[in-house]
Amino acid sequence: MANEILIVDDNPDIRNILNELISDLGYRTRLAANYQQALSEIDKKLPDVAVLDVKLSNTENNEGLKLLDHIKNKNKDIPVIIISGHANIEMAVDSLRLGAFEFIQKPFDKNRLTNFINRAIENYNLKKENKSLNEKLFNSFEIIGKSKNITNLKDQISHLALSDSRIFITGPIGSGKELVARKIHLISNRKNKPFVIINGALLNSEKYEKELFGEEFADGSIIYGALEKASGGILLIDEVTEIPLETQSKILRVLIDQKFKRINGKHDINVNVRIICSTNKDLLYEIQVGNFREDLFHRLNVFNIKLEPLNKRINDIPLLVDYFMDKLSEIYNIKKIEIKDFNFLLNYDWPGNVRELRNLVERIIILSPGQNQDKINDIIKESLSKSSSHEFNISENLSFTLREARENFEREYLTSQLKKFSGNISKTAKFVGMERSALHRKLKILGIKEFN
């Protein structure tokens, strides 16, 4: 189906010229003659590209820039071309700052405008295709492992997916919290409804409520929030502990009343959303220090799914490597590479967890398309050595409890000493001042694989 372009201009002659020009390029068009018509068209269905005149009336207001902002709030990937017969440098700068794809002055050169439109369509289609591929790729990944944590996790998913109960997923960065939420959605009764993600750690503190609840404007336009976008489906609130306390209290009220109002709204919106939350932080500690509401925690934590760090389930590493080799070799159309020496992988601490392992496998596939084991080992050692040098520093460990920080240090320290003594337990124990049997126990507790 041909791409659709929205043309907004109060001059009927310009609208007709643009309509004819764009139709001749093979694209479908929709037309609007003023601000209200344009709002109606945008809210009815977003176009693939918009061509907006800045001034749509005799007032001093630059209504085209308001429409640009409205479109970008709905979908930042939609290219918007701004045209104006009253152009100045300030207006051009403002439009580009708000996210305009291009700015062109009237009377415009048809060839130049045609070039802009073709490039805008190309840009939109490429982003749409990449987004679709990433979605398919993410959804195609499976949860791999035979450790007790992963076995229990799969069992939890199969049972919890069939209910509508709220779920709290906890686990370190890169452990697969989003993947678990997506798997629940894919086998749930809501699988044909939206799966929407809002990331508390990435939002400007002033935008939390707007992103969650949406906003209404005096001119009748609406920005829909995540709760409405996910209607009938699942809303994943990632890094929920980053949301300010004031907004947390409003989320609690939504969970209790099952309704909310948009910002500046007068009417209640009923909620039909299953909420899943995730965090990489220690929730009980966050509650204790006053960063997270205990009453909200109990509302959200009907069921808890805990993902362990990769260094506590090292038996899963060979399975994950083999799985990622299969998937990524197929994606890159490269013959599958076999890793014969797992020694370094099994004794590395994996601060980035499964995500870091997947990135390493992808790096190996790209940089070593052959079966040269020396080259593969060099890539592994170089990649993980760079990560190891940053493994334990104060800024990274401030988010841990004292016990977790101490364990991280002990794990990194003992792993380094074992490597220094080539895995010799007796020499390592003597150097670190421990009995041999005590060192064996400590390595087992910390999940460090002994090697020769």
9-26, pLDDT tens digit by residue?
A: 999 999 999 999 999 999
pLDDT at 391 exceeding the cut of 50: no
pLDDT digits (tens, 9 = 90+) for 143-161: 999 999 999 999 999 999 9
**Taking a C-beta distance cutoff of 8 angstroms, is the pair 6, 41 a contact?**
yes
Q: Which fold has domain 311-446?
A: Helicase, Ruva Protein; domain 3 (1.10.8)
Higher pLDDT pick, 74 / 293? 293
**Least confident among 40-54, 111-125, 373-387:** 373-387
pLDDT at 107 exceeding the cut of 70: yes
SS3 state of residue 120: helix
Distance CA 138, CA 116 (A): 33
Distance CA 105, CA 87 (A): 6
Is residue 394 very low, low, confident or very high in pLDDT (cuts 50, 70, 90)?
very low
Distance CA 265, CA 279 (A): 30
Six token digits for residue 431: 């150097």
Q: Which residues pair with 395 in a beta bridge?
A: none
Is residue 139 very low, low, confident or very high in pLDDT (cuts 50, 70, 90)?
low
What residue type is 9 in one-letter code?
A: D
What average pLDDT does this structure show over 244-273? Answer: 92
Q: From its phi and psi, is residue 326 left (phi > 0), alpha (psi between -120 and 50) or beta?
A: alpha
Question: Could you write out the DSSP letters of every residue in 171-218?
Answer: --TTS-HHHHHHHHHHTSTTTTS-EEEEETTTS-GGGHHHHHH-EE-T
Q: What percent of the chain has pLDDT over 70?
A: 89
As its CATH architecture, domain 150-307 has 3-Layer(aba) Sandwich (3.40)
Sequence-ordered list of residues with C-beta below 8 angstroms from that of 171, at least 6 positions apart, any chain = 177, 278, 280, 306, 307, 308, 309
Distance CA 244, CA 293 (A): 10
Sequence-ordered list of residues with C-beta below 8 angstroms from that of 62, at least 6 positions apart, any chain = 54, 55, 91, 94
- Strands 215-216 and 222-223 turn out to be antiparallel
Distance CA 214, CA 333 (A): 43
Higher pLDDT pick, 313 / 371? 313
pLDDT at 44 exceeding the cut of 60: yes
Q: What pLDDT, on the 0 to 100 scale, is given for residue 50?
A: 94
Is residue 207 very low, low, confident or very high in pLDDT (cuts 50, 70, 90)?
confident
CATH superfamily of 4-134: Response regulator (3.40.50.2300)
Q: Which of 53, 29, 24 is nearest to 41 (CA)?
A: 29
Same fold, 4-134 and 150-307: yes
User: pTM score, two decimals?
Assistant: 0.63
Six token digits for residue 228: 């409405």
pLDDT at 250 exceeding the cut of 60: yes
pLDDT at 397 exceeding the cut of 70: no
Q: What is the Cβ-side half-sphere exposure of residue 408, based on CA atoms within 13 angstroms? A: 21
For residues 396, 400, 406, 407, the Cα torsion angle rounded to the nearest 10 degrees is -100
Cα 5 to the chain's mean position, in Å?
28
Distance CA 175, CA 52 (A): 44
What average pLDDT does this structure show over 233-252? Answer: 92
Distance CA 46, CA 48 (A): 7
In the block, residue with structure tokens 């630059």: 62
Domain ranges of the chain: 4-134, 150-307, 311-446
Q: What pLDDT, on the 0 to 100 scale, is given for residue 302?
A: 95
**Taking a C-beta distance cutoff of 8 angstroms, is the pair 357, 321 a contact?**
yes
In the block, residue with structure tokens 């479109």: 71
pLDDT at 323 exceeding the cut of 90: yes
